């Protein structure tokens, strides 16, 4: 039984503008609380619709220890379900991508249509109602070629984010992409420490020398470059192309489009395009980066030639999995238009550096000498926003469940 009063007391100990009390980072009880209070009640980006290229396609993933499956049915509709058979609960599909005309439980062969309805269940009594035993749905929204899910029956409001995301993402034609590469990185650190690291670039100038060649690592605030000559010129160029670029945000999301370093056309080891077949041709294929981020788990960058997403999913209080995906134009030919190793290089190096930083951070937080410290209002604006959002979301859950 979850001790709601204990978590309320921990949240009450937090000093404004500071990191969290130690126990919220390191205890198993806090992990269980976070999964129920945060991950179960948040919109999460599951992937791109191009990962389900035809009717019969499916992909399976775990949100913490909770298995989910996403399908494209015969009518080209995308659905999401709890990946748990309605017979005795077995997982239908292991994590990954696949294609099948039906979903068949490997245990007793209960068979489901791709819309979740039960197609067949042998040796059941005459009064058995198949209609009562379909897969349990998960909330799903598909916007501009991206798939978002929420495991709560009462999810947060989505439409404001969805409308802005469609506006910013539409010019890149995400539906015309394909998945070119993936990576799973295991981090021995609490997910909130991993997210803190992903939400600031205070460490980037020294921590990410390769990324810094193309990525502007010295932004203030929320990608604030007001008054900079190049930023003004970039804004004019994007306006001329009809590409929205202003930094906008809501309760659980942020997005912006910003200029890369001078001479850089994409985020890569040298700033030069990694894919010959571009997603958007305007301005000579130099449109900066469209960055979007979702609390509690994701940041992503879409440049003119490829899209990179990184999703952080907790496994325990001390382990987080970083799931990275790279997408390119669907007509780009591997070995001709792009090289997978080169496509992945800068972000793999960056993620390895971030893993080391987050793990080192976690080891220090475990220390009896740990005391919550202050965020930099200038360099850690988004990390502070994340911590504030976490506390607000956690408190709202406590208020609801303490009744």
Tokens of 135: 């897969």
Domains 44-150 and 159-365 share a fold: no
Q: What is the pLDDT of residue 401?
A: 84
pLDDT of residue 41: 97
* Residue 213: pLDDT band with limits 50, 70, 90: very high
pLDDT tops 90 at residue 321: yes
Report the mean per-residue pLDDT for the chain: 95
The pLDDT of residue 225: 56
Handedness of CA 92, 39, 377, 303 (dihedral sign): positive
- DSSP letter at 267 equals S
Return the bridge partners of 220, or none.
224
Give the range among 1-5, 188-192, 274-278, 328-332 with minimum mean pLDDT: 1-5
| The predicted structure's pLDDT at residue 230 | 83
Q: What percent of the chain has pLDDT over 70?
A: 97
How far is 167 from 300, CA to CA, in rounded Å? Answer: 16
Structure tokens at 398: 């406590």
Q: Report pLDDT for 99.
A: 97
pLDDT in tens, 102-112: 999 999 999 99
For residue range 238-280, list pLDDT tens digits in order: 999 999 999 999 999 999 999 999 999 999 999 999 999 999 9
Q: What is the pLDDT of residues 44-95, one digit of tens each?
A: 999 999 999 999 999 999 999 999 999 999 999 999 999 999 999 999 999 9
Nearest-5° angle of CA 27, CA 28, CA 30? 65
Residue 159 DSSP class: H
The reported pLDDT for the residue numbered 66 is 97
How many whole angstroms separate alpha carbon 397 and alpha carbon 268? 41
pLDDT computed for residue 217 by the predictor = 85
What letter would DSSP give residue 214? T
* Domain segments of the chain as ranges: 44-150, 159-365
* C-alpha span between 36 and 401 (Å, rounded): 11
Tens-place pLDDT, residues 120-132: 999 999 999 999 9
136 vs 280: CA distance, rounded Å: 39
Q: Which residue would you say has higher pLDDT here, 284 or 335?
A: 335
- Residues of the chain with pLDDT > 90, as a percent, come to 93
Quick one: which H or E segment has residue 104?
strand 103-104
Examine the pLDDT at 215 and tell me if it is beyond 60: yes
Q: Are 256 and 248 in contact (CB under 8 A)?
A: yes
Q: Which residues pair with 97 in a beta bridge?
A: 59
- Fold of the CATH domain 159-365: Naphthalene 1,2-dioxygenase Alpha Subunit; Chain A, domain 1 (3.90.380)
What's the length of the chain?
403
pTM exceeds 0.85, yes or no: yes
User: Residue 344 has what pLDDT?
Assistant: 98
Q: How far apart are CA 70 and CA 378, in angstroms?
A: 40
| pLDDT exceeds cutoff 90 at 227 | no
Position 313 confidence tier, pLDDT thresholds 50, 70, 90: very high
Q: In this structure, what token pair is assigned to residue 263?
A: 């001479």
Q: What is the mean pLDDT of residues 307-312?
A: 98
- For the domain made up of 44-150, give the CATH fold: Rieske Iron-sulfur Protein (2.102.10)
> What are the backbone angles phi and psi of residue 391, rounded to the nearest 5°?
-65, -40
pLDDT in the model for residue 111: 98
Dihedral sign for Cα 313, 314, 315, 318, please. positive
Q: What pLDDT is attached to residue 403?
A: 62
Q: What is the DSSP letter of 210?
A: T
Q: What is the pLDDT of residues 151-170, one digit of tens each?
A: 999 999 999 999 999 999 99
Angle of helix 381-401 relative to helix 4-13, nearest 10 degrees? 150
Residue 220 has pLDDT above 90, yes or no: no
CA–CA gap between residue 25 and residue 96 (Å, rounded)? 29
For residue 24, what pLDDT is reported?
A: 97
CB atoms under 10 Å from CB of 341, counted, come to 9
Question: Which residue do the tokens 């100990």 mark?
Answer: 13
CA separation for the pair 186, 315 (Å, rounded): 10
| Span 339-388, pLDDT tens digits | 999 999 999 999 999 999 999 999 999 999 999 999 999 899 999 999 99
Q: Angle, nearest 10°, between helix axes 340-365 and 191-198?
A: 120
Q: Check if the beta carbon of residue 213 is closer than 8 Å to that of residue 264.
A: yes
Torsional class of 118: left (φ above 0), alpha (ψ -120 to 50), beta (otherwise): beta
Q: Pull the structure tokens for residue 172.
A: 């890149």
The Cα 164–Cα 170 span in angstroms is: 10
Give residue 269's Cα distance to chain centre.
Answer: 23
């Amino acid at each position: 039984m979850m001790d709601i009063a204990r978590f309320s007391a921990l949240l009450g100990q937090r000093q404004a503008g500071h990191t969290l009390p130690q126990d919220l980072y390191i205890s198993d009880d806090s992990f269980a609380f976070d999964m129920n209070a945060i991950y179960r009640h948040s919109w999460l980006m599951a992937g791109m619709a191009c990962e389900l290229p035809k009717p019969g396609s499916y992909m399976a993933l775990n949100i913490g220890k909770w298995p989910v499956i996403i399908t494209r049915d015969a009518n080209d509709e995308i659905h999401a379900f709890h990946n748990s058979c309605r017979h005795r609960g077995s997982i239908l599909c292991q994590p990954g991508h696949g294609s099948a005309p039906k979903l068949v439980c490997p245990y007793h062969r209960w068979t489901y249509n791709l819309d979740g309805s039960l197609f067949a269940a042998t040796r059941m009594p005459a009064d058995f109602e198949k209609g009562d035993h379909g897969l349990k749905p998960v909330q799903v929204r598909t916007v501009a070629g991206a798939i978002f899910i929420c495991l709560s029956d009462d999810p947060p409001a989505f439409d404001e984010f969805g409308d802005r995301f469609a506006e910013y993402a539409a010019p890149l034609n995400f539906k015309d992409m394909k998945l070119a590469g993936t990576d799973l990185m295991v981090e021995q650190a609490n997910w909130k420490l991993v997210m803190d690291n992903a939400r600031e670039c205070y460490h980037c100038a020294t921590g990410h020398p390769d990324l810094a060649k193309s990525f502007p690592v010295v932004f203030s605030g929320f990608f604030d470059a007001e008054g900079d000559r190049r930023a003004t010129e970039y804004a004019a160029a994007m306006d001329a192309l009809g590409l929205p670029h202003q930094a906008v945000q809501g309760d659980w999301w942020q997005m912006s489009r910003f200029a890369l370093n001078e001479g850089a056309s994409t985020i890569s080891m040298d700033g030069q395009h990694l894919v010959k077949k571009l997603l958007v041709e305007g301005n000579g294929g130099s449109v900066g980066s469209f960055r979007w981020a979702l609390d509690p788990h994701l940041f992503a960058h879409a440049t003119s030639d490829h899209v990179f997403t990184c999703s952080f999913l907790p496994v325990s209080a001390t382990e987080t999995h970083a799931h990275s995906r790279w997408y390119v134009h669907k007509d780009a030919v591997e070995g001709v238009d792009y090289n997978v190793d080169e496509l992945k290089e800068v972000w793999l190096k960056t993620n390895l550096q971030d893993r080391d930083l987050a793990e080192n951070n976690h080891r220090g937080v475990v220390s009896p000498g740990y005391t919550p410290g202050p965020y930099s209002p200038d360099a850690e604006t988004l990390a502070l926003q994340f911590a504030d959002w976490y506390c607000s979301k956690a408190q709202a859950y406590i208020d609801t469940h303490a009744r």
